[in-house]
Amino acid sequence: MGFTSKPVRVIEIPEPMSEPLLAPESEPERTQREEEVPATTPA
Amino acid sequence: MTPAVGYRFWRVDPDDAWTRGRLQSPVAETLWPPLDRLDAECQTRPGLRLARAGLHRHDEERTSPELACSCGIYAYHDIAPMTRALREEPYMFGGAVLCWGRIVIHPEGLRAQHARPLALCRPESPGVQQRTALLLREVTREYAIPLLELRDLVAYASEFGASYKPEPIPPSRRGLDRVRDAFSWRQMRRRLGKAFGG
């Protein structure tokens, strides 16, 4: 690899705070609270 | 500031006892450490065309990549130059990288101080896919990165960072820049110096 053109600018980017190894899931996980809600029974 | 995303290729030679199936930079022959970042350094080995003479190699205060040198971890802004290179050599694989630290931006790509692979992409040719399936599975497991279809690579990488591809300079502006350079104070002084034997 190599570039034939001249550099256009230099920037400094701080180290990412957390580096997840995988992209976040698109679908959020169900929370414990949601799972614990009891099913309502008909009167 | 968001980390920079780029696209590059690596050689992975399953028969090389030294590299042992790890990602290797094809020019500098640097091995990328699994589950860790790679740090750029200006290499001075004889015959290696990365380091140009007389720049920052003897100045330990400076950080790689240096603006005037050609050192640093390379990545393209786009996937097209990466895919072109993949067709040229066997056991060359493309993917996305996340870059940060000092970043030197060129029109076609960037040179970074730190980088780590984000994902590899599956070869386009069915024959190559079949031949390298096991190898790629092992590599992606070792680096804990996904193996993606080429069409999904950009979308996936965008989850982690941004492109720093510069806006193209319009042709009229390039002409103006050349004129401005020709009449710059430094150029005029150099010409006057030459004319008067300085």
Predicted confidence (pLDDT) per residue in B41-52, tens digit: 887 555 554 444
**Inter-residue contact B114 to B41 (CB < 8 Å):** no
**Whole-angstrom distance, CA of residue A18 vs CA of residue B157:** 16
Q: How many CB atoms lie within 10 A of CB B152?
A: 13
Which of B70, B82, B103 should be substituted to probe chain A, the one whose Cβ sees the most A Cβ atoms within 10 Å?
Answer: B103
**Whole-angstrom distance, CA of residue B87 vs CA of residue B102:** 31
Per-residue pLDDT at B68 = 85
Query: How does pLDDT run across B62-75, given as a tens digit for each residue?
Result: 689 988 888 999 99
Per-residue pLDDT at B69 = 87
When pLDDT is averaged across residues A10-32 and rounded to a whole number, the result is 64
When pLDDT is averaged across residues B166-170 and rounded to a whole number, the result is 82
When pLDDT is averaged across residues B28-51 and rounded to a whole number, the result is 77
Per-residue pLDDT at B181 = 64
| pLDDT over 70 at B164, yes or no | yes
**How sure is the predictor about B191, in pLDDT bands with cuts at 50, 70 and 90?**
low
The B-side interface with A (CB below 8 A) comprises: 1-4, 8-9, 25-27, 35, 67, 70, 74, 76, 85, 98-109, 111, 114, 116, 144-146, 156, 159-160, 164, 166
Residues 6+ apart with CB under 8 A from A14: B1, B100
Q: Residue B94 — φ and ψ, nearest 5°?
A: -100, 165
The amino acid that residue B10 corresponds to is W
**How sure is the predictor about B150, in pLDDT bands with cuts at 50, 70 and 90?**
very high
- pTM for the full predicted model: 0.74
**How sure is the predictor about A32, in pLDDT bands with cuts at 50, 70 and 90?**
very low
Residues 6+ apart with CB under 8 A from A10: B67, B102, B103, B104, B105
Task: Tell me if A10 and B102 make a contact (CB, 8 A cut-off).
Answer: yes
Q: Is A2 on the interface with B (CB under 8 A)?
A: yes
When pLDDT is averaged across residues B25-49 and rounded to a whole number, the result is 81
**How sure is the predictor about A29, in pLDDT bands with cuts at 50, 70 and 90?**
very low
Per-residue pLDDT at B15 = 85
**Whole-angstrom distance, CA of residue B165 vs CA of residue B171:** 18
When pLDDT is averaged across residues B23-31 and rounded to a whole number, the result is 90
Tell me the pLDDT of chain B averaged across its residues: 84
Task: Tell me if B98 and A12 make a contact (CB, 8 A cut-off).
Answer: no
**DSSP labels for B86-98?**
HTTSTTEEEEEEE
Task: Tell me if A1 and B102 make a contact (CB, 8 A cut-off).
Answer: no
Q: Chain A residue closest to B157 (CA)?
A: A23
| pLDDT over 70 at B37, yes or no | yes
